Every structure is written in structure tokens, then in C-alpha cells.
């Protein structure tokens, strides 16, 4: 496979395998050493439009209201570029061959977010390719998008030779599996279109069974409201109680459906250094994330995909993960989180203390050397209830204290006040 050299020729040249690009850049042109494969398909009505409309009508996009607002453009790319003729979908490998860690006190971040933010990086490469096309064909016009515009990149990629839509709704290629990003170039040129790739999922349903929440409700259908990637990144509100334990130690995204895909045995390490793990992104300490300030968050995750979650949601995820650790070592960080400026964090911290303390042996029987004033989860919760004004946080605290009382767990060592358990 040839690599992009920075020059474009629209002359009818024949490749060694007997194929030729015609009067347009071929898929080979877009392999620039970073894009490992490119699909090219004719623009037209959105494939899978009926499925997309039903998915929206059932509310499975959750809080991602932009999908509904932009639905017309997603159905018809000519509303984005009036004279669009072709859709080019280049793919960029981001795989790093490092397994997720198993330490319950360390957070798990989705593989695609270990390195630098891919949006600007890939968009720069796409714009560079588009400029070369324009230099060779002055009448060429186009627009580039990387996961931020009203274009269904994966759907269009599955209309080409790039790959097929897996049952987990991610694109899969026979060459490297599914660990890759895609972008699109909308062009007003008619190109030589390649044949659509076949669906090679067959009878395999590993991704459906691997999904921790059952978010893949049917092959090719993901209910975002149940998806841990959605819940940890897009959703900025209260995580439903039945789903909190299923987060495990995930703080940004989830890779489970891709981890089990048999096609990912063909994955190869990405050549691009930008996708190598940034310091602290591989296995971040949950206690550190739970205590991160706004300024520290901006500094640490500037230029990282993790920044999309925002500080409040990331800390929320961290305290839930600390609760799921069931480790007494999580208590100091969680009692501090009870005093966080965000009610969202405080409420989830209360739940997490209930998970840790409710599943642990009595603290008086342990040899833990916890900081003074933070060794008794029940006492910390009662003090928090005495000081808390947010109704939802108070409800979370009361639920935990009620569980403690029912389990016979000693709640307090000092009196926080006469109305601590009241309304």
C-alpha cells in the first residue's frame, strides 16, 4: 500500500495491481502514514435512516439533544455542503498495547482518551489533504469533520470499503479491528467509489454479553442512557443508583465491548506518538481525581479528551469508583468529598461511603491508621447531614445512614447537633 507523498495527480495512472484512480484522488492518496485506510462513497440519503429516526424517537440518545437538533443535516449531507458528491472517510489507528489495570483504587480511562485530543489533530490532517486536492483541482470544494459536526461518520464509513458496523455500533476493519478514529471530508467532486465492505460479525454476540449494563439492547442498537461511556462522559447529572455499581473503576468511558471483539486480535500499536498515554491518564489514582480542583483539572486535562467530562462529572465518577472499590482506604477521600463545593459530588460521595462502610468489617477491629476525624464514615455522614442544605444530597445521606442502622453499624462517636437526623 503506497503512502501519501504530498502530491496529487489527477492523471489516469495505473497502479501495479492494475487499478487506477481515474480523474480523482484514490483511497491510496489518503494513506499518509497516519491514516491506515480510507473509504470513499457517494453522497446521498443517510443509510440506516429509519433506524436512526426510531432510535431518536425512543429517546435512546439521552441528553445528547444536538443529535435531534441536527437530525435533518445528518439525514441529508447536502444541507451541509450544497453540491456534495462524495464522502471520504479516512481511519487513524490509536491502539496502544497496554491492558487496563486491575487496581480497584486506580481509575480506568477509555483507551482512546489516553493520549492527546484527537479532534484537532485529525482535523489538521484532513484539512491538509483537502488543501492538496484544491491545489490540484481548483474547482474542488469540501468540508472536514472529526466527530464534531452533523455527519454520521461511522455510518458513511460502513458504506465504503473501510469496514462494517459492528453489533456494538463501532466500525470494524479486517486489518486492525476497531481501535481507530474516523473523520470525513465532504467533497463536490465525483470520485471512484469502492465496494462496500461485508459484515463479518456473523453469529458472534460477545459484545452484547460483555456490556456491563446491557446497553447493547439488540445487535447494532445501543441505548446511550445505559452506556457507561455516555454516563461517565456525556451525562452530567445524577447517575441512577442501579447503575452505579456497574461503573466499577471506570471514570471516563468503557472499552468492554471492544475488548472482547475477536477482530481486535489483529490490532497493531499506533505509530502516532500523540496517542501514547499522557502522564496520569493510564491508571490515575482515584483519591487524586476525587480531590482535583477546577484549576488542577484544567491544567491536567488541557488538550486531552478527558476534558469533555468536565471537573464535576469526573469527580462524581471518581467517588463512585471509590465506593465500588469497597476498600477502607477510600474513606478519607470520600469523607473529604462530602465537603466538595458540588452537590453532585457530595451526594455520590455519600452513596460511596455507604458502599465502603456497609461492606467492610467494623473499623474498630481493623489496624487502619486513618486520619483523625475521618475514620468513622457514619460520623462523617451525620455531620454532613447536619450541615447539608441540598435536598437530594440529604436524601442520599439518609438512605446510607438508614442502611447503617439496619445493619447495626455504629454511627457516631460525638453529637453533631440536636437536629442532625431530622429534616
Catalytically active residues are 147
Residue 149 exposure: Cα atoms within 13 Å on the Cβ side: 20
| Distances from the Cα of 160 to the Cα of 164, 187, 200, angstroms | 8, 15, 14
Distance CA 72, CA 54 (A): 14
Residue 214 main-chain phi, psi, to 5 deg = 70, 30
Place of cell 455527519: 151
Q: Are 381 and 338 in contact (CB under 8 A)?
A: yes
Collapsed DSSP state (helix, strand, coil) of residue 285 = strand
DSSP 333-354: HHHHHTT-S-HHHHHHHHHHHH
How is residue 281 written as a grid cell? 491518564
Which of 106, 114, 176, 135 shows the shortest CA–CA distance to 306? Answer: 114
Question: Which contacts qualify for 411-419: CB closer than 8 Å, 24 or more apart?
Answer: 411/378, 411/379, 411/381, 411/382, 412/376, 412/378, 412/379, 412/382, 413/376, 413/379, 414/379, 416/379, 416/382, 416/383, 416/385, 416/386, 417/386, 419/386
Residues in CB range of 225: below 8 A, 6 or more apart:
59, 60, 62, 215
Place of cell 429517546: 59
By CB neighbour count within 10 A (0-12 exposed, 13-18 middle, 19+ buried), where does 56 fall? middle
Place of cell 473503576: 249
In eight-state DSSP terms, residue 29 is: G
Amino acid at each position: 500500500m503506497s503512502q501519501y507523498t504530498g502530491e496529487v495527480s489527477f492523471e489516469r495512472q495505473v497502479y501495479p495491481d492494475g487499478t487506477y484512480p481515474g480523474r480523482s484522488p484514490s483511497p491510496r492518496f489518503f494513506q499518509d502514514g497516519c491514516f491506515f485506510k480510507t473509504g470513499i462513497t457517494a453522497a446521498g440519503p443517510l443509510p440506516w435512516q429509519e433506524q436512526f429516526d426510531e432510535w431518536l424517537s425512543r429517546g435512546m440518545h439521552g441528553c445528547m439533544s444536538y443529535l435531534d437538533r441536527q437530525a435533518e443535516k445528518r439525514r441529508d449531507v447536502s444541507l451541509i455542503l450544497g453540491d456534495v458528491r462524495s464522502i471520504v472517510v479516512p481511519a487513524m489507528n490509536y491502539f496502544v498495547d497496554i491492558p487496563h489495570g486491575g487496581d480497584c483504587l486506580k481509575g480506568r480511562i477509555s483507551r482512546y482518551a489516553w493520549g492527546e485530543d484527537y479532534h484537532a489533530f485529525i482535523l489538521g490532517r484532513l484539512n491538509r489533504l483537502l488543501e492538496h486536492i484544491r491545489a490540484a483541482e481548483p474547482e474542488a470544494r469540501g468540508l472536514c469533520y472529526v466527530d464534531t459536526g452533523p455527519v454520521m461518520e461511522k455510518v458513511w464509513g460502513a458504506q465504503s470499503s473501510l469496514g462494517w458496523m459492528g453489533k456494538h455500533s463501532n466500525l470494524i476493519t479486517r486489518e486492525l479491528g476497531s481501535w481507530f478514529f474516523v473523520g470525513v471530508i465532504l467533497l463536490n467532486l465525483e470520485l471512484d467509489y469502492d465496494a462496500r465492505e461485508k459484515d463479518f460479525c456473523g453469529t458472534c454476540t460477545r459484545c452484547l454479553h460483555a456490556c456491563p449494563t446491557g446497553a447493547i439492547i439488540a445487535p447494532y442498537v445501543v441505548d446511550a442512557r445505559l452506556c457507561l461511556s455516555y454516563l461517565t462522559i456525556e451525562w452530567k447529572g445524577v447517575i441512577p443508583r442501579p447503575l452505579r455499581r456497574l461503573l466499577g473503576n471506570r471514570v471516563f468511558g468503557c472499552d468492554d465491548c471492544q475488548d472482547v471483539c475477536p477482530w481486535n486480535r489483529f490490532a497493531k500499536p499506533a505509530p502516532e506518538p500523540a496517542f501514547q498515554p499522557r502522564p496520569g491518564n493510564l491508571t490515575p489514582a482515584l483519591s487524586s481525581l476525587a480531590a482535583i480542583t477546577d484549576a488542577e483539572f484544567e491544567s491536567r486535562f488541557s488538550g486531552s479528551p478527558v476534558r469533555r467530562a468536565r471537573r464535576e462529572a469526573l469527580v462524581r465518577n471518581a467517588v463512585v469508583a471509590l465506593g465500588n472499590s469497597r476498600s477502607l482506604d477510600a474513606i478519607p477521600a470520600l469523607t473529604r468529598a462530602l465537603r466538595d463545593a458540588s452537590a453532585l459530588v457530595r451526594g455520590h460521595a455519600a452513596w460511596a461511603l455507604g458502599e465502603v462502610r456497609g461492606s467492610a468489617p467494623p473499623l474498630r477491629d481493623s489496624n487502619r491508621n486513618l486520619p483523625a476525624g475521618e475514620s468513622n464514615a457514619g460520623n462523617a455522614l451525620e455531620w454532613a447531614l447536619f450541615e447539608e442544605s441540598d435536598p437530594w444530597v440529604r436524601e442520599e445521606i439518609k438512605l446510607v445512614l438508614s442502611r447503617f442502622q439496619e445493619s447495626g453499624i455504629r454511627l457516631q462517636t460525638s453529637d453533631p447537633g440536636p437536629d442532625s437526623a431530622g429534616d
